[in-house]
Amino acid sequence: MVKTVMITGATAGFGEASALRFTEGGWKVILTGRRKDRLEKIQKKIGKTCHIIHGDVRDQPLMANSVNSLPEQFSDIDVLINNAGIGAGLHLAQEVSWKDWEDTVDTNIKGVLAMTHAVLPNMVKRNQGYIVNIGSTAANYPQSTGNVYGGTKAFLHQFSMGLRCDLLGTDLRVSCLEPGLCQTDFTLTRMNDEKKANDFYRGINPISAVEIADMIFWMVNLPAHININFLEVMPTRQAVAGYALSRLT
């Protein structure tokens, strides 16, 4: 039986790579994203096994209606990958704009809630499904200017655990994948400077979007009695730096 995966934020990075990886694996894919031209380009590449939803995950009524009105051949979602996310603003808390904070919370938290709320009931009804939340090592290790972004990813960590508790006794699975330094358009979007983004990766050999997609595909294809609660991954040349001190002079 051909399975169906729904991927949010599928126009680039982890989302696009996952769409192609699952297609290669023989799955049907439902892709959401804000950039209609990119969605249509990916759909054309994949073909009839791809259904697209143009819209923002922050638009809860649109997302709920889109899920409820899926074509019959896509209506039973086996895997939801909550990938859509932003990291608006690389600023200190005392300098950041309110809009950057609000947009980050609305996308990274409320967007995930909107999609989960729309998809989960049918998974429970069928007693079949897997939710993969794309978190970040920023959930576990604070860094300067990562204030609200890290907070939203910490929410995903805890939300994933809460879902596991609520779904105990069913066959549904939930994982939170927490990558460290990965080379995608995400960093370029955050920095808004191609040279800075390239310098950021220099000499690191960061994780690629394709490698993340492979990890997700591996997780959801494990035997049904195995649930990976969290998977934290970093490039070999990245590590937690430890405490920082500021001494009086």
Residues with catalytic roles: 149
Task: Read off φ and ψ for residue 232, nearest 5 degrees.
Answer: -100, 125
Question: Which stretches of the chain are DSSP H helices?
Answer: 13-24, 36-46, 60-68, 98-105, 111-126, 147-166, 185-191, 194-201, 209-220
β-bridge pairing 28-33 and 4-7: parallel
Please choose, from the candidates 223, 216, 171, the residue with its C-alpha nearest in 3D space to the C-alpha of residue 80. Answer: 216
And the tokens for 42? Answer: 């990916």
Q: What residues form DSSP beta bridges with 81?
A: 7, 132
Alpha-carbon span 153 to 174, nearest angstrom: 15
What is the CB neighbour count within 10 angstroms for residue 128? 18
CA angle 18, 174, 87 (to 5 degrees): 60
And the tokens for 182? Answer: 């990965």
Q: Is 72 helix (H, G, I), strand (E, B) or coil?
A: helix
Please choose, from the candidates 149, 132, 133, 150, the residue with its C-alpha nearest in 3D space to the C-alpha of residue 141. Answer: 150
And the tokens for 193? Answer: 């400077």
